[in-house]
């Protein structure tokens, strides 16, 4: 491999990128746009659940119970209704996610130590949000029940009752339980996977469509020099995208970066090399830009979204799909990013993931070189 010929191909590709604003925009502007849009729009946090109340009791006890929901950061009392029709109208229209129904005998049952019942109606059309809202409601109800029990024991015995078990939870790595802290690192991997493979999947195919491949074949440039020469410009642009994404995550979304910055960029470079090589391989095999872009989207977008652990937890998937995820390179890079960002761990913990990414890059580059032939057949 001669550096002069390698640089000539890289320079040619740089000139093409600069002259083609669409490629340049896709390479730089689109990752920034996607990160901003997904970062703000994609959130798994459930708070301020809109709630409408039908208080049939109208007593101090029922108002105290209702205030527990209103005072919680996870619920927002929108208003009050005087029947099920009002509750149904609010939930059907989407104005409220849930409804709290307090029966008329709520206060008398609570005062005399009998089981006081209350009904919580939740819109189950969004099952994930409904499940989380029910969990929040259980906590509010349990807290109210404990307070009633403690007050009752104090009335009977004349002294306060201490809870026999005091659980003090402690959350590591994401103390505030904010979804953006683990979504943003996953977004970086997803954007790199899709954009990098999509860009390079068009490079060799474009030469075939424009008829310039014949000229390149007639030159002394070797197949390896052609492939790596085309890969270099997009590698530089990809690393620039990583820098922009890290800066946006740090200063726009305030995502903590607890690990090593050199390790982060080093692993990003290994992953990027593998993804770009895969894009080149797709371009060599497809030979048309339309077919290449379609293959790239199928092989990158769908697996990264569904099977990498970015959106859905891998342990919750069917067993057969869990085995399939081992072939998705984004799975390992997302694990590395979350480990570096949130846990601050290094290769002593995540050496296996780093090794797989290195093997993936070598295999993709080797296959691209094997499949590319300097002939017109």
- Which CATH number goes with the domain that contains 67? 3.40.1710.10
pLDDT for position 159: 62
pLDDT for position 164: 65
Mark whether 361 and 236 lie in a shared domain. Answer: yes
Mark whether 137 and 239 lie in a shared domain. Answer: no
Mark whether 70 and 202 lie in a shared domain. Answer: no
pLDDT for position 56: 92
Give pLDDT tens digits for 50-94. 999 999 998 988 899 999 998 888 899 999 998 899 999 999 988
Classify residue 4: in a domain, yes or no.
Answer: no
**Better-scored residue on pLDDT, 230 or 274:** 274
Mark whether 36 and 57 lie in a shared domain. Answer: no
Classify residue 169: in a domain, yes or no.
Answer: no
DSSP element (H, E) containing 53: strand 49-55
Mark whether 123 and 205 lie in a shared domain. Answer: no
Mark whether 145 and 263 lie in a shared domain. Answer: no
Cα Rg of the chain (Å, integer):
29
Mark whether 197 and 312 lie in a shared domain. Answer: yes
The answer to whether residue 129 scores a pLDDT higher than 90 is: no
Place of tokens 């994401």: 174
> Which of 94, 125, 157 is the last residue in one of the domains?
157
Mark whether 269 and 301 lie in a shared domain. Answer: yes
* Range of the structural domain that residue 62 is part of: 49-157
Classify residue 171: in a domain, yes or no.
Answer: no
pLDDT for position 120: 92
Classify residue 18: in a domain, yes or no.
Answer: no
**Which residues face 49 on adjacent strands?**
75
Q: Report how many domains make up the chain.
A: 2
Classify residue 290: in a domain, yes or no.
Answer: yes
Q: Cα separation of 147 and 221, whole Å? A: 80
DSSP-H helix ranges across 59-202: 60-71, 84-92, 106-111, 127-157, 180-200
Classify residue 16: in a domain, yes or no.
Answer: no
The answer to whether residue 22 scores a pLDDT higher than 80 is: no
Classify residue 9: in a domain, yes or no.
Answer: no
Of 248, 266, 257, the C-alpha closest to 191 is 248
pLDDT for position 373: 74
pLDDT for position 99: 94
Give pLDDT tens digits for 150-169. 776 666 665 655 656 667 77
Mark whether 110 and 213 lie in a shared domain. Answer: no
| 296 φ/ψ sector (left φ>0, alpha ψ -120 to 50, else beta) | alpha
**Better-scored residue on pLDDT, 22 or 269:** 269
Total Cβ atoms within 10 A of residue 154:
12
Mark whether 37 and 62 lie in a shared domain. Answer: no
Mark whether 355 and 226 lie in a shared domain. Answer: yes
The answer to whether residue 252 scores a pLDDT higher than 80 is: yes
Q: Cα separation of 29 and 26, whole Å? A: 6
pLDDT for position 311: 80
pLDDT, mean of residues 196-209? 76
Mark whether 195 and 329 lie in a shared domain. Answer: yes
**Better-scored residue on pLDDT, 3 or 373:** 3
pLDDT, mean of residues 31-35? 80
Mean pLDDT for the chain overall? 84
The answer to whether residue 374 scores a pLDDT higher than 70 is: no
Classify residue 223: in a domain, yes or no.
Answer: yes
Q: Cα separation of 334 and 186, whole Å? A: 5
pLDDT, mean of residues 195-215? 74
pLDDT for position 376: 53
């Amino acid at each position: 491999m001669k550096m002069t010929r390698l640089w000539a191909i890289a320079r040619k590709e740089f000139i093409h990128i600069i002259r083609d604003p669409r490629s340049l925009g896709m390479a730089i502007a689109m990752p920034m746009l996607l990160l901003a849009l997904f970062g703000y729009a994609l959130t798994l946090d459930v708070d301020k659940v809109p709630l409408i109340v039908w208080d049939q009791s109208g007593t101090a006890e029922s108002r105290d119970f209702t205030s527990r929901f209103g005072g919680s950061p996870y619920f927002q009392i929108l208003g009050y209704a005087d029947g099920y029709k009002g509750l149904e109208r609010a939930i059907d229209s989407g104005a409220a996610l849930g409804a709290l129904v307090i029966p008329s005998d709520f206060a008398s049952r609570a005062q005399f130590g009998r089981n006081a019942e209350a009904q919580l109606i939740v819109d189950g059309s969004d099952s994930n949000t409904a499940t989380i809202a029910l969990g929040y409601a259980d906590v509010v109800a349990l807290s109210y029940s404990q307070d009633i029990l403690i007050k009752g024991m104090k009335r009977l015995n004349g002294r306060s009752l201490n809870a026999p078990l005091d659980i003090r939870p402690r959350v590591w790595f994401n103390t505030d339980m904010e979804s953006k802290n683990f979504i943003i690192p996953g977004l970086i991997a997803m954007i790199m996977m899709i954009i990098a493979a999509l860009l390079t999947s068009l490079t060799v195919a474009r030469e075939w469509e424009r008829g310039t491949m014949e000229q390149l074949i007639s030159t002394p440039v070797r197949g390896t020099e052609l492939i790596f020469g085309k890969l270099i410009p997009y590698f530089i642009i990809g690393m620039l995208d990583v820098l922009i994404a890290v800066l946006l995550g740090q200063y726009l979304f305030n995502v903590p970066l607890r690990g090593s910055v050199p390790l982060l960029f080093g692993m990003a470079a290994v992953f990027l090399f593998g993804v770009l090589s895969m894009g080149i391989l797709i371009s060599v095999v497809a030979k048309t830009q339309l077919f290449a872009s379609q293959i790239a989207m199928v092989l990158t977008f769908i697996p990264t979204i569904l099977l990498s652990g970015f959106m859905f937890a891998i342990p919750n998937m069917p067993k057969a799909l869990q085995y399939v995820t081992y072939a998705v390179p984004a799975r390992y890079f997302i694990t590395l990013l979350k480990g570096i960002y949130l846990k601050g761990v290094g290769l002593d913990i995540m050496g296996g993931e780093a090794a797989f990414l290195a093997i993936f890059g070598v295999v993709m580059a080797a296959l691209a070189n094997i499949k590319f032939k300097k002939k017109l057949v």
